[in-house]
């Protein structure tokens, strides 16, 4: 199978290849089950490499049918082929030589979706991280860059379209019903950026004129008939290209940029040079079938993949340990892009919610690893939220510490110094040090130390002296393989609010370095002394979530409410309200478990209702205010011995109180923004829909019956409102006739649209309580379900395991047993998908004893599975350790 299971790759083992690959010519003769690939590679021995060093190329499940040395068959004694390598000996000391490898591939049988595969009759490739070795023997590693020529031969009728990277060279007929096309990519690239697509697809075309006046052809390929649904992606692409010129001075570098949407894809999308391949979920949208969240995702992912052209492709990674060099940086870039296109504060709230709900649990559990790991067993398991989202936060902190101008200077230096390189994190950080003169040595610990730092703060005010002290202490919790940690450089944006809501300007701040509005925490313990204050200030700390930390700061509800009402940073207002709500929800959950009375702080309900009603604030922000911390947020705050049923019961009690306190307001918000009329996907319209749909669940609770949500379902003229109403019906009134009718209406209306039915699966998979598992099992029998399609599996099985705490964590352990059997069934076909869904159990140790025991048994059952993939074996073993 794949990499020998158990073999661990270490960062410290890195060394360059013995041979330099100058260029490669690939010829594909496409066939569903017997595709022929011929690869001609020109090599020379690297200066300094041993004269007898053999050439060792990577392979995975390959069938080699020919091997030539300078055009002549290679003598059998000079090479050996084993499971995953081809070793060639007795090669020239200095002269360049050509190796030709013929392989035969079966795209139809490729269910892993790595390498060359077929999806809905379309040939396509996915090579990152190590998929190219499933096509031919190669130096399949990111530090080997060369230019590619690609010839594709295929049946003319079924494959009118033949695409690869770079610029189109030409094409022609090729005898009996076949034709061929040739592509040349002038930019040296690693194999993981190779792509080939062939088939019969529709296209949407446009052009973009770059800042230096070059015209670039833009093409988005989708299934025939779906062209109108690619319009928004095209618009997002053009905005991305413009933004990268304006903000990062980056211009596109080929004559053509293509995006292809496919329906079977393991992840979101892939940045292959000039030929991005996308999960169709992140390309296709129209008002009838896509929610506002879908539009926002399309915009972000189109931008993300486009931005990789510079951060990833022009400058790539030396090895896979450096993955965050391209991913963390590119996520940071797409976050900034979305913030500029939409509302910055609302975007920041959404990012932080996502970070806390996905990355914080990863960092606190058995799968925790540094942003720049030092060892791995299966690289596919390191495409994690830590590498991506925490990596983006680390980049953001560099910008915060240096300030806007020096950050830009550092980025410019990075592009100038490393264009064409396979670089490291050290190279990247050095550019910012050189551009700013600031030592980032301690800061670099963010790349090396796993775990979410905990900053504990206490404060005191001396009225007589007018001084305020802030005692800060940081601690980085132990994580697998890292028991002791060094103190980090933590940049905390802060402000001092006066009783009237205005901001104090202190005479001096001592004890902690301050630049602008940033406090630089660098020691384990530090005390900041602020002088020249007339009144006790309320400190607002970690504004804009300037550092990805947990903050323990004992503050009175009154102080938090003060920040929530007055801070000039909208993000900080949301955060303060969240900090006011969370202890209340935690307390309610404890009470629910103990069977004692649940009380809600009236300051919470008053503040929440007041801000939600504030017409001077944008609706999207008010919608975020109404979305209370989730059950998972409460579980994380509780930390251990968790009972998901009690957590839900406590949270429900708080919701019920808020629903009755705010009923009049919720009704107004719901009716005022009735969502009808011509749909536009812009942020302002989306915000109005978000506010209406945030009010609806509270109304449903207050009403205690489904009529209003059923009416909203019937009235909706766009997918955002329709799916929101269906969600409220299903989650609040699962047994109601109205709900059953709405589910069936929805199914029938969208029976032909798999992406929309994924919403139908996901809504039902998240109906809380014991009954969820039976529902999920029944839905798996539905003709709309397809166990071979990753989107379907994620929508139903993945959503159930990741996003239904009470349904999945059943006290009898049936949820875990179900997941174990699913993992064992998916793994032989698609190990990446199986491993990813299995990570839903990463917080199993924080469950109470009975559930934890069931979870442990399920994990052991997986671990005992026969012939586990390296992907699943790696995850399950780390979770058990």
Q: Which is nearer to ligand ARG, 307 or 407 (CB)?
A: 307
For residue 301, the minimal CB distance to ligand ARG (Å) is 8
Antiparallel, parallel or unpaired: β 19-29 and 72-73: unpaired
Token pair belonging to 149: 């020529």
Least separation in angstroms between residue 195's CB and ligand ARG is 12
Residue 383 or 415 having the CB closest to Zn ion:
383
Cβ-based nearer residue to ligand ARG, 302 or 702: 302
Q: Select 187 or 688, whichever has its Cβ closest to Zn ion.
A: 187
Q: Cβ of residue 305: shortest distance to ligand ARG, in angstroms?
A: 6
Residue closer to ligand ARG (CB basis): 127 or 655: 127
Q: How far is the CB of 272 from Zn ion (least distance, A)?
A: 12
Question: CA 200, CA 389: separation in Å to the nearest integer?
Answer: 36
CB atoms within 10 A of CB 737: 10
Question: Binding to ligand ARG by residue 383, rule CB under 6 A?
Answer: yes
- Determine the Cα–Cα distance for residues 262 and 289; give it in Å rounded to an integer: 17
**Whole-number minimum distance, CB 380 to ligand ARG, in Å?**
4
Site for ligand ARG in 302-341 (CB under 6 A): 304-305, 327
List for the chain the helix, strand, coil content (%; round to 5): 45, 20, 35
Kindly write out the interface string for residues 613-652 of this chain, putting x where it contacts ligand ARG by CB under 6 A and - elsewhere: ----------------------------------------
| Set 128, 223, 271, 305: catalytic member | 305
The distance of closest approach from Cβ of residue 704 to ligand ARG in the complex, given in angstroms and rounded to an integer, is 45
270 versus 757: smaller Cβ distance to ligand ARG = 270
In the complex with ligand ARG, the residue whose CB is nearer, 341 or 380, is 380
Residue 837 sits in the site that holds ligand ARG (CB under 6 A): no
Residue 97, binding choice from Zn ion, ligand ARG, none, Cβ under 5 to 8 Å by partner class: none
Q: Whole-number minimum distance, CB 333 to Zn ion, in Å?
A: 10
Element spanning 508, H or E: strand 508-510
Three-state SS string across 814-863, please?
A: HHHHHHHHHHHHHCCCCHHHHHHHHHHHCCHHHECHHHHHHHHHHHHHHH
Paired tokens of 618: 């944008």
Q: Is 380 in the site for ligand ARG (CB under 6 A)?
A: yes
- The torsion angle over the Cα atoms of residues 201, 203, 208 and 214, rounded to 10 degrees, is 60
* φ, ψ (nearest 5 deg) of residue 368: -60, 140
Per CB under 6 A, does 389 bind ligand ARG?
Answer: no
For ligand ARG, the closer of residues 333 and 593 by Cβ is 333
Size of the site for ligand ARG (CB under 6 A): 11
Catalytic site includes residue 34: no
d(CA 67, CA 70): 10
Smallest separation, CB 297 to Zn ion (Å): 14
Site for ligand ARG in 535-574 (CB under 6 A): none
Give dist(CA 879, CA 856) in Å, integer. Answer: 9
Contact by Cβ (8 Å): 45, 93: yes
Question: 521, 474 in Cβ contact below 8 A?
Answer: yes
Q: Report the nearest approach of Zn ion to the CB of residue 869 (Å).
A: 23
The residue (of 276 and 343) whose beta carbon lies closer to ligand ARG is 276
Question: What are the residues facing 170 on neighbouring strands?
Answer: 182
Q: What is the dihedral of CA 237, 239, 240, 245, to 10 degrees?
A: 130
List phi, psi (to 5°) of 403.
85, 160
Q: How many other C-beta atoms can be found within 10 angstroms of the C-beta atom of residue 343?
A: 21
Q: How far is the CB of 303 from Zn ion (least distance, A)?
A: 11
The mark string for 271-310 relative to Zn ion (x by CB under 5 A, - otherwise) is: ----------------------------------------
Spell out the residues 6+ positions from residue 361 whose beta carbon is closer than 8 angstroms to its own: 632, 636, 842, 843
Q: What is the closest distance, in whole angstroms, from the C-beta atom of residue 427 to ligand ARG in the complex?
A: 19
The residue with its CB nearest to ligand ARG is 383
Q: Which does 741 bind (CB under 5 to 8 A by kind): Zn ion, ligand ARG, none?
A: none
Among residues 18, 25, 60, 128, the one that binds ligand ARG under rule CB under 6 A = 128
Name which of residues 129 to 168 contact ligand ARG (CB under 6 A): 129
Instruction: List the one residue out of 798, 780, 768 whose CA is nearest residue 630.
Output: 768
Q: Which is nearer to ligand ARG, 327 or 618 (CB)?
A: 327
Site for ligand ARG in 685-744 (CB under 6 A): none
Nearer to ligand ARG, 203 or 267 (CB): 267
Q: Are strands 256-262 and 275-279 parallel, antiparallel or unpaired?
A: parallel
Judge contact between 493 and 517, C-beta under 8 A. Answer: yes
| 662: Cα within 13 Å, side-chain hemisphere | 31
In which residue are the tokens 């692409």 written? 237
Partners of 221 in beta bridges: 203, 260
What torsion do the CA atoms of 841, 843, 848, 850 make, to the nearest 10 degrees? Answer: 20
| CB-nearer residue toward Zn ion: 330 or 830 | 330
With CB under 5 to 8 Å by kind, the binding choice for 128 among ligand ARG, Zn ion, none is: ligand ARG
CB of 316 to ligand ARG, least distance (A): 11
Q: Which is nearer to ligand ARG, 270 or 793 (CB)?
A: 270
Residue 375 and residue 377: Cα distance in Å, rounded?
Answer: 7
Partner from Zn ion, ligand ARG, none contacting 129, C-beta within 5 to 8 A by type: ligand ARG
E strand map for 174-253: 178-189, 196-199, 202-209, 215-222
| Binding-site size, Zn ion (CB under 5 A) | 2
Q: Distance between CA atoms of 264 and 124, rounded to whole angstroms?
A: 10
| Min separation Cβ 267 and ligand ARG, Å | 5
Binding mask 312-331 for Zn ion (x = CB under 5 A): ---------------x--x-
Q: Quick one: what does residue 363 bind among Zn ion, ligand ARG, none, with the CB cut-off 5 to 8 Å set by partner type? A: none
Supply the DSSP symbol for 528: E
> Does 9 sit near ligand ARG (CB under 6 A)?
no
Q: What is the C-alpha to C-alpha distance for residues 394 and 380, in angstroms, rounded to an integer?
A: 22
Report how far residue 60's alpha carbon sits from residue 67's, in angstroms, rounded to the nearest whole number.
17
294 binds, among Zn ion, ligand ARG, none (CB under 5 to 8 A by kind): none
How far apart (Å, rounded) are the C-alpha atoms in residues 61 and 117? 14
Q: Which does 299 bind (CB under 5 to 8 A by kind): ligand ARG, Zn ion, none?
A: none
Site pattern 250..289 for ligand ARG (x: CB under 6 A): -----------------x-xxx------------------
Residue 842 φ then ψ, to 5°: -65, -20
Specify the 3-state DSSP secondary structure of 368: coil
User: Longest Cα pair distance anywhere in the chain, in angstroms?
Assistant: 96
| Contact indicator for 716, 722 with CB cutoff of 8 Å | yes
Phi, psi of 90 (to 5 degrees): 55, 55
Among ligand ARG, Zn ion, none, the one that 267 touches (CB under a kind-dependent 5 to 8 A) is ligand ARG
Q: Is residue 249 left, alpha or beta, with left meaning phi > 0 and alpha meaning psi from -120 to 50?
A: left
What is the sign, positive or negative, of the torsion defined by CA atoms of 529, 533, 534, 536?
Answer: negative
Active site residues: 305
Give residues in contact with Zn ion (CB under 5 A): 327, 330
Give residues in contact with ligand ARG (CB under 6 A): 128-129, 267, 269-271, 304-305, 327, 380, 383
């Amino acid at each position: 199978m794949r990499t020998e299971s158990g073999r661990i790759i270490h960062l410290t083992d890195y060394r360059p290849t013995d041979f330099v690959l100058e260029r490669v010519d690939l010829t594909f003769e496409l066939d569903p089950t017997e595709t022929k690939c011929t690869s001609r590679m020109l090599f020379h021995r690297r200066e300094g490499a041993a004269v007898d060093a053999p050439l060792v190329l990577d392979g995975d499940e390959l069938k080699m049918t020919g091997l030539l040395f300078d055009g002549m068959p290679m003598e059998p004694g000079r090479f050996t082929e084993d499971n995953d390598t081809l070793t060639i000996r007795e090669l020239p000391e200095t002269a360049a030589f050509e190796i030709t490898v013929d392989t035969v591939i079966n795209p139809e049988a490729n269910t892993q979706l790595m390498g060359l595969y077929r999806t809905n009759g379309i040939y396509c490739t996915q090579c990152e991280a190590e998929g190219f070795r499933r096509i031919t023997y190669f130096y399949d590693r990111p530090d080997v860059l060369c230019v590619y020529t690609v010839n594709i031969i295929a049946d003319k009728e079924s494959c009118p379209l033949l695409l690869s990277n770079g610029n189109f060279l030409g094409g022609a007929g090729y005898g009996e019903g076949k034709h061929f096309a040739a592509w040349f990519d002038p930019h040296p690239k690693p194999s993981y950026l190779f792509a080939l697509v062939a088939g019969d697809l529709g296209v949407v075309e446009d052009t973009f004129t770059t800042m230096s006046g070059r015209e670039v052809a833009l093409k988005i390929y989708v299934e025939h008939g779906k062209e109108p649904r690619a319009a928004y992606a095209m618009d997002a692409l053009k905005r991305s290209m413009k933004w990268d010129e304006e903000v990062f001075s980056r211009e596109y570098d080929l004559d053509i940029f293509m995006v292809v949407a496919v329906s079977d894809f393991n992840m979101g999308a892939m940045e292959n040079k000039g030929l991005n391949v996308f999960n169709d979920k992140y390309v296709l949208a129209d008002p009838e079938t896509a929610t506002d969240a879908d539009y926002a995702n399309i915009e972000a992912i189109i931008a993300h993949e486009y931005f990789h052209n510079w951060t990833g492709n022009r400058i790539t990674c030396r090895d896979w340990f450096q993955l965050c060099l391209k991913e963390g940086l590119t996520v940071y870039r797409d976050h900034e892009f979305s913030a500029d296109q939409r509302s910055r504060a609302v975007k920041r709230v959404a990012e932080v919610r996502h970070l806390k709900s996905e990355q914080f649990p990863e960092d606190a559990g058995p799968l925790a690893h540094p942003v720049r790991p030092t060892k791995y067993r299966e690289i596919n398991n390191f495409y994690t939220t830590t590498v991506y989202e925490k990596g983006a936060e680390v980049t953001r902190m560099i910008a915060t510490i240096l300030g806007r101008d020096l950050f830009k200077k550092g980025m410019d230096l990075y592009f100038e110094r490393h264009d064409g390189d396979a670089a490291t994190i050290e190279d990247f950080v050095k550019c910012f040090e050189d551009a700013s003169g600031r030592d980032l040595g301690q800061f670099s610990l963010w790349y090396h130390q796993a775990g979410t730092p905990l900053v504990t703060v206490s404060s005191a005010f001396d009225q007589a002296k007018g001084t305020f002290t802030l005692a800060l202490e940081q601690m980085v919790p132990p994580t697998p393989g890292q028991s002791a940690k060094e103190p980090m450089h933590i940049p905390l944006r802060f402000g001092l609010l006066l009783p009237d809501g205005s901001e104090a300007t202190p005479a001096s701040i001592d004890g902690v370095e301050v630049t602008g509005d940033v406090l630089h925490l660098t020691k384990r313990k530090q005390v900041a002394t602020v002088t020249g204050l007339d009144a006790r200030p309320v400190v607002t700390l970690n504004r804009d979530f300037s550092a990805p930390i947990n903050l323990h700061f004992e503050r009175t509800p009154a102080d938090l409410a003060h920040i929530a009402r007055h801070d000039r940073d909208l993000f900080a207002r949301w955060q303060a309200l969240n900090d006011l709500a969370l202890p209340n929800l935690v307390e309610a959950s404890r009470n629910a478990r103990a069977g004692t009375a649940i009380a809600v702080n009236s300051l919470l309900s008053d503040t929440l209702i007041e801000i939600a009603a504030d017409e001077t604030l944008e609706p999207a922000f008010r919608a975020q205010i109404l979305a209370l911390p989730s059950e998972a947020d409460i579980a994380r705050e509780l930390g251990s011995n968790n009972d998901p049923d009690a957590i839900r019961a406590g949270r429900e009690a708080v919701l019920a109180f808020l629903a009755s306190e705010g009923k009049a307001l919720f009704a107004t918000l719901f009716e005022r923004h009735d969502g009808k009329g011509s749909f536009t996907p812009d942020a302002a319209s989306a915000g109005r829909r978000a506010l209406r749909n945030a009010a609806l669940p509270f109304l449903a609770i207050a009403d205690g019956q489904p009529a209003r949500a059923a009416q909203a379902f019937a009235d909706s003229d766009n997918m955002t409102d329709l799916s929101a109403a269906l969600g409220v019906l299903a989650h609040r009134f699962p047994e109601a006739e109205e709900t059953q009718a709405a589910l069936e209406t929805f199914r029938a209306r969208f029976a032909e649209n798999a992406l929309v039915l994924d919403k139908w699966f996901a809504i039902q998979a998240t109906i809380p309580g014991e009954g969820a598992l039976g529902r999920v099992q029944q839905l798996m029998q539905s003709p709309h379900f397809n166990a071979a399609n990753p989107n379907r599996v994620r929508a139903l099985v993945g959503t159930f395991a990741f996003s239904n705490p009470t349904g999945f964590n059943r006290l009898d352990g049936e949820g875990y047993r179900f997941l174990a059997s699913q993992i064992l069934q998916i793994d032989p076909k698609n190990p990446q998908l199986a491993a990813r869904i299995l990570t839903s159990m990463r917080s199993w140790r924080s469950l109470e004893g009975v559930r934890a025991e069931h979870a442990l048994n399920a994990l052991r059952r997986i671990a005992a599975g026969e012939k586990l993939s390296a992907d699943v074996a790696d995850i399950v073993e780390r979770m058990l350790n």
